[in-house]
A and B are shown apart, each in its own frame.
Chain A
Amino acid sequence: MTTAAKRVRGVEHDILQMPQASDVSPYYEPQGNEVAIFEAAYRKRLPIMLKGPTGCGKTRFLEHMAAELKRPLVTVSCHEDLTSSDLVGRFLIEGAETVWQDGPLTRAVKSGAICYLDEIVEARTDSTVVIHALTDHRRKLSIEKKGQEIDAHEDFLLVISYNPGYQTVLKDLKQSTKQRFIAINFDFPNEETERKIIANEVPGMSPDIVNKLVAAGRKARLLKDHGLEEATSTRALVYAANMMSAGLDPVTACQVAMINPLTDDIELAEAMLEIIRAHFQA
C-alpha cells in the first residue's frame, strides 16, 4: 500500500504531492453513502464539512477520497494561534528584500488541490473568515497584504472538519461559515464495519478478539455523557488491537490504548476497566 505521502520516508517533500497512477488509495470502509455524497459535491465543487467525533475516520475518509479522485491533498491542522497569514501567506525577508511566501491554502487554490482544514473551530475567528469568498460562488481567495486576489483553480476543493460537542460553549463555528458547506455526518461505524476495520488495519487478529474488542469499545462509548470529553474512538480500538498484536495481553492493551489516554477520572477509568475485564477475562 503506497500513497503519495508515504513514498519517500525521512526526506522532506512539498506539501503538494500529485497522486501517482500507481498509488493505492488508503483503506477506508464506508459507513453509509458518504462516498457518493463526496463525489457529487466534488463534481459541483461545493465545499464540504466533515462532522463527527475524534477518531471516527474523517481524515482517513478524506485521504481515501483524494486518492480516488487523484487530487493532491493539503492538510492544515488548525490550532488556537493559527492566523490568516498562516493560511494565506506572508512576507518574509530574504537577504535584503522582502519576499512573499504563499501559505498552504493559497498554494492549494493555485494548484487545484483539496485543502483540508482539520478541526477548524480551533482556529481564530479572523482566520476562518478568509475562506468565505472561497466557499461561495465566487471561489476567490483575496490576499489582502498584496492587494491581490486569486480565482481558484477549477479542481480546487475546500474541506473542513468540525467536531460538534467539542467545547461547544466556548468554541463554535459562525453560522455564516457553517452554511457555506455541504455537511457529511460521521459517527463511529457500526459493529460489523468496525470489526472489518480492525481486522483490516491489524491483520492477523483472531476474530474472537476483534469481536470482544469491538463489543468492549461500544460499551465504553456509553460512558461519554459521564464526563468523558470524547468517546472511545475507532482509532483507539485499532491502537489497542495493534498493542495486542505486538504481544501485550488484551486487558493491558485496552487499558493503555482506550482508558489511560481518555480520562484521568479514577471512577470512569475503573468503570471502563470493568468493561474490558468482563470481556477479556473469561
Chain B
Amino acid sequence: MTAQSGATEKALESIAALSGRSHREALALLPDLQRHGAQTVEAWLTAARRLLEYDIDAGGAFVQGTREAERISETVMPWTAQALRFLQWPAATAAIDGFMKNLPRAFGTLGHAGEPRWAEIGLRWYGRHAESGRLYFNTPVLDLAGRQGIAGIEQLCDPAEEMFERRKLMLATYLPGAVRVRNLLGAQAIVPWATRGADIMQGGRVRGEAYFRLESEESLSALIDHLPGFRMADRNHLLGLLLEIWFERRFDLKESAWSPEKGRPFVETDGRSLFLPAVMPDREEAILAVLHSAGRISFGSFERAALDTIFRETGLDLPDSGAISWAPLYERYGEDLLRFQLLFDLCDDLRIDCRIQRVVPNYLSRLHAAGVEHRVRLLDARPYYEAALISVRGALALLRGDAAGVPADFDPRLKPLLEPAATLADAFRIANDLYAGSILAPVIDAEVFRSAYLPGRAPNAARAVHAQEGEDQPQQTKAGADADQEKSEGEDSQEDEQNAESGGDQSAAQEKMVASDSKSSGASRQTLQRTQTPDGNEKGAEKGKPYPEWDYREGRYKRNWCWVQEKPLADSNATEADRLMAQYAMALKRLKKAIQAQKPTRMAPKVRQFDGDDIDLNAAVTYAAERIAGMSPEPSIYRRREIRQRDVAVTLLADMSTSIMQHLPEGGGRLVDRIRAGVLLFAESMEEVGDAYSIAGFASKYRDNVSYFTIKEFDQPYTPAVRSVIGGMSGRLATRMGAAIRHATARFAGVQCGRRLLLLLSDGRPEDYDDGGDRRYLHEDTRMAVKEAVACGIHPYCITVDTMANQYLPQIFGPGHYMVLDHINSLPNKLPEIYLRLRR
C-alpha cells in the first residue's frame, strides 16, 4: 500500500471527492486488485471514477460489485471494459447495477468463454431498447441459462432477435414469460409461443402484454396447447364414453384449474364431479385416472356413513351439509400429515381399485403395468410408490386366487381391503394401523408427496367433498325434492367455484408448502373463467357459442377459439325495402314465372323404361308391332312414376363486413344496395319455391367477437318486418368466415331435410383484425369449416363478387362449389337463379 503511484493516489482522491463510501471500499479492494498489476489497478480506478462521475449510484454499484466479480473471475479488465460500455447511454444506472450483481454468477456458470457473450447480448439489447437491456441484466443469469450455460441464454434470446427484426418485439416484453415457458415446456415451445404473442401484440398492445406476462387466457391456453401429453379436453367425449361403459352411469366431467406450474397433473373429484387437468402424461394414465376417480365416486369414498365413522373415531363432528374438508381429520398428525395422507390414500385407493377390477376387466394389471413403467423419479417418493405398487401386485395375485404370486413384502393387513364389502372407514383404520408402525420416512416436500402416487391415482384430499347419502335417504315429496335440488345446485356452483379456484382444500400446513402454486393464482382465475363460461350462464350467453378454429401452422384445431354471438339485426329500413321491391318488380315477376314453370305439380311418369310398375302401352304396342315385323326391338316397355321430393333446406349467409359499404366502381350506388336487393329477391323467390330457408349475416372483430345476425329463421314466416330488416342490412367489421360457417352448420341441426344447402354471399376473402396479416390462416380455417359442413351433410356454395376470388375460392370451397359474379349489378337476379339451379 506504500508503493501507490501518483496516478493511483490522484484517482483515489477524485473518488473520495465523489463518494466517501466508494473511496473506503476502493481502498479496501486495492490489495486484492494489486495482484493484477499496477496498470490494472489504475484502469480500474479510472473506470470507477468515470462511473461515479456518470452517476454516483452506478459507480457505487461498480465498486461494490468488484470484490465478488474479481474473486470469481480472477480478472478485472474484461468486465471493467464491459461496464464502461454502459457510459455511452444516459441513465443506465439500473442496468449497471444488475450487471455488476450478476457478474459473479455469469463467470461462475458461464465461464470465461460465456460471460462476454452474455454481456454482449445484453449490451446489444440495451443499445436497441434501454428497458430490454435493463431487464436482461437484472434477470438472474441462472434463469436465463436454464442450466444450459451460455447455450441456454442464446436459445432464449435468439428467438427474440428474430422477433425483433420481423415484428419489432422488444426483449423486455418477451423475456420474463419466455423464461417461464422454457421452464415449463422446454425450449422448443418458445418460438410458437412468442410468434402467437407477436400476432396478438399487433391486435392490441394491452392484450399482447398480458399475453407475454402469461396472464391472459390466451397465453394460458396457448401454453396448455403446447404441453406434451394426452389432451383431456379434446378427449372428453371418449373419456365420458368409457366411464359410461364401465360404470353404466354418466359422470360430470369438468376442467380443473390445473396449470403446468402446479406440478404433476391429477384427476380429482369432490364426490360429484371429476375435475380433469388440461393434459395428462399419456393416454393410459388418463384412462386409469378417470376410471379411478369415477371408482371413488361409485364405491363409497364419499359415503356419509363412512365419513361419519371416520370423523367420529377421530373425535370430530361431520358437518351436516355443504362441502366437507378433510383438513380437521389430518390436523392431529401435525407435521407428519403428508405421510399419513399417503398411507390412507394407499389403503383407500387399493380398496377402490379392487372394486373397479370387478367392473373393468384387467384394470389392476393395467394399473400395475403403468406403475412399473412410470417408476418414480424422486428418490424420497420411491418407498411410498413402491409400497403402493407392491400392494397392487399383491391384490392382483390374491384376486386371481394365486396365493403363491403374492409378493413377500405385501402387507397382510391390507387384505381386508380387497373385499367388496370393505369401506372407507376400514381403509382409515388400516391406514392408522400402518401409520403407527410405519418405517417409511416422513414426507414434507409437496413434490415428493405428489410423486408418490401411482399413475392414475391422486391425492384424495385435494378437494372438499360432498358426502353421498346412503340408500335409506328419506323419500321427499316431488315438489320438496325439486326445491331442494335447486337450492343445492345453487350452492354447488359456488362451492365449485371455490373448489376450482383454490385448486383444492389443502390443510394449512400443506397450503404453506404449496404456496408456490398460488403464485399463479391470477392465471388460475383466468382458467376458471374459461371453465365457467361455456356453462350457459349469463356470461356465457354474452360471450356466445364457442367454436374451434383450424390452425394450419400447427395442423390442429384450437379449441373454443372463436366465440359467435347470435343477435338480431337491429336496423331495419322499410322504405329501402319497398324501393328495392319496386325497382326489381319486373325481375321478380320473371323469376316467379320461371319458378312456377319448374315446379313439378304432379309425379312425372318416366316412359320407355326397362322395368317399372306399369306397362307403357304405347311402347308395348310399338314393341309388339316391331317384333311381328321381324325386327328385334329392345323391351323398354314399362313406365314408372317417380316422386321428386322437394326435400331441401337452405341458409343464405351474407358477408356483412365493412367492405360491402364501398361504392361501386361503375357508379350507381354501393355494393350493399345490390346485396340487399339480392337477398330480397332470394327471399321472395323462396316463398314461391316453398323450400325451407333461413337468412343470416355475419361480421367479426377478433376471434372472440363474431356476430351472427339472424334475419330470418327456418320456421319464421316471411313478413314485412323481415323485409324491412333486409332493407336495413349494412356492413361492419371483418370477415371471419370459418366461424360463421360453423355456426350456420350448427343451426341446421334441427332441420329435417335430406338436402341442405349453405349459400354464402361474399365480397372478399376471409380475414380478421387478429389474423396477423397471415391470409392463409383464415383461408385454411374456412376450408376446414367447409369440410366440416360437408361432413354434416350440408353443401356449402359460395357466391362472390370479388373478381380476384378465383385465386382463393377453389382451395376453400373446391372446384365447382363457388361462383364469381363479374358484374355486381347482376347479383340481385343471379342469386335466386343460382339457387334454383343448385337445387335441381
- Mask, A150-178, CB within 8 Å of B = 1, is 00000000000000000001100000000
Chain B CB within 8 A of A270 CB? yes
- A185–chain B nearest beta-carbon distance, Å: 22
Q: Does A85 make an interface contact (CB < 8 A)?
A: yes
Residues on B with beta carbons closer than 8 Å to the beta carbon of A268? 241
Cβ-defined partner of A93 (8 Å) among B244, B623, B752: B623
Which of A83, A222, A279 is close to B248, meaning CB atoms less than 8 Å apart? A222
Question: Is the CB–CB distance between A267 and B627 below 8 Å?
Answer: no
Report B643 CB to chain A, min CB distance, Å. Answer: 9
Pick the contact of B620: A93, A212, A220, A275 (CB < 8 A). A93
Closest CB of chain A to B748's CB: distance in Å? Answer: 15
Bound CA span A219–B635, Å: 55
- Mark A173-209 against chain B: 1 for CB-CB distance below 8 A, else 0: 0000000000000000000000000000000000000
Which residues of the other chain, B, contact A220 by a CB distance below 8 angstroms?
Answer: 245
Question: Is the pair A83, B613 in contact by a Cβ cutoff of 8 Å?
Answer: yes
Contact of B242 among A93, A95, A274 (CB under 8 A): A274
A271 and B242 contact, Cβ closer than 8 Å, known pairs A85-B613, A98-B615, A282-B365: yes
CB proximity to B under 8 Å, residues A235-282:
267-268, 270-271, 274-275, 278-279, 281-282
- Residues in B with CB closer than 8 Å to A274 are 242, 245, 287
Chain A residues with CB under 8 A of B360: 278
Q: A222 contacts B752, CB within 8 Å?
A: no
Given A223-B241, A226-B241, answer yes or no on A91-B615 (Cβ-Cβ < 8 Å): yes
Q: Which residues of A contact B620 (CB under 8 A)?
A: 93, 98
For the complex formed, measure the closest distance between the CB of A106 and the CB atoms of chain B, giving whole angstroms: 15
User: B552 interface residue, CB < 8 Å from A?
Assistant: no
Chain A residues whose CB sits within 8 angstroms of the CB of B637 once the complex forms: 93
Size of the B side of the interface (Cβ < 8 Å), in residues, is 27
The answer on a CB contact under 8 Å between B361 and A278 is yes
Taking the complex as formed, is A8 at the interface, i.e. its CB lies under 8 A from any CB of chain B?
no
Q: Is A234 an interface residue (CB 8 A)?
A: no
Is A84 an interface position by the 8 A CB rule? yes
- Cα distance A226–B245 when bound, in Å? 11
Q: Please determine whether B362 and A278 come into contact, CB atoms closer than 8 angstroms.
A: yes
Determine the chain A residues whose CB is within 8 A of the CB of B235 once the complex forms.
267
CA distance A84 to B614 in the complex (A): 11
Structural contact, A267 and B752, CB atoms closer than 8 A? no
Q: Which residues of B contact A96 (CB under 8 A)?
A: 624, 627-628
Contacts of A281 in B (CB 8 A): 362
**Smallest CB separation, A264 vs chain B (Å):** 10
Mark interface residues in B654-670 (1 if CB within 8 Å of A CB, else 0): 00000000000000000
Given contacts A98-B620, A278-B360, contact A93 B635 (CB under 8 A): yes
Is B363 at the interface (CB under 8 A from chain A)? yes
* A282→B614 CA distance, assembly (Å): 63
Within 8 A of B (CB), among A43-77: none
Docked Cα-Cα span, A170 to B752, in Å, equals 9
B238: interface (CB < 8 Å)? yes
**Closest residue to B628 on the A side, CB-wise?**
A96
Number of residues from A at the complex interface, CB < 8 A: 30
Which residues of chain B are near A145, meaning CB under 8 Å?
614
Separation of A282 and B396 alpha carbons in the complex (Å): 12
- In the complex, what's the smallest C-beta–C-beta distance from B671 to chain A, in angstroms? 41
A-side contacts of B623, CB under 8 Å: 93
The contact string, 1 if C-beta is below 8 Å from chain B, for chain A 82-124, is 0111000011010111100000000000000000000000000
Q: Which residues of A contact B164 (CB under 8 A)?
A: none
* A-facing residues in B217-236 (Cβ within 8 Å): 235
Judging by beta carbons under 8 Å apart, are A219 and B238 in contact?
no
If A96-B627, A98-B620 touch, does A215 touch B361 (CB 8 Å cutoff)?
Answer: yes
Contact yes or no, A222 B361, CB < 8 A:
no
B613 and A84 within 8 A (CB): yes
Judge if B237 is at the interface, Cβ distance under 8 Å.
yes
Q: Interface centre among A90, A93, A220, A278, by most B CB within 10 Å?
A: A278
Mark out the residues of chain B between 364 and 380 whose CB falls within 8 Å of any chain A CB in the assembled complex.
365-366
Q: How far is the CA of A93 from the CA of B365 in the complex (A)?
A: 71
Cα–Cα, bound, A222→B240 (Å): 12
CA distance A96 to B437 in the complex (A): 105
Pair B241/A271 contact, Cβ less than 8 Å: yes
Q: Are B627 and A219 in contact (CB under 8 A)?
A: no
Question: Complex Cα distance A219/B237, Å?
Answer: 17
Most buried by A among B241, B363, B613: B241
B333 interfacial contact with A, CB 8 Å: no
Task: Find A271's partner among B238, B363, B752 (CB 8 Å cutoff).
Answer: B238
Q: Is B808 an interface position by the 8 A CB rule?
A: no
Instruction: State the CA gap A42–B241 with chains docked (Å).
Output: 44
What are 24 sample pairs from A and B whose C-beta atoms fall under 8 A apart? A83-B613, A93-B624, A93-B635, A96-B624, A96-B627, A97-B624, A98-B615, A170-B752, A215-B361, A219-B245, A223-B241, A223-B244, A223-B245, A268-B241, A270-B238, A271-B238, A274-B287, A275-B245, A278-B361, A278-B362, A278-B366, A279-B361, A282-B362, A282-B365
Q: Could you list 19 further interchain pairs (A-B, Cβ under 8 angstroms) beyond the known A91-B615, A222-B248, A223-B244?
A: A83-B613, A84-B613, A85-B613, A93-B620, A93-B623, A96-B627, A97-B624, A145-B614, A220-B245, A222-B245, A267-B237, A267-B241, A268-B241, A270-B238, A274-B287, A278-B360, A278-B361, A279-B362, A282-B362
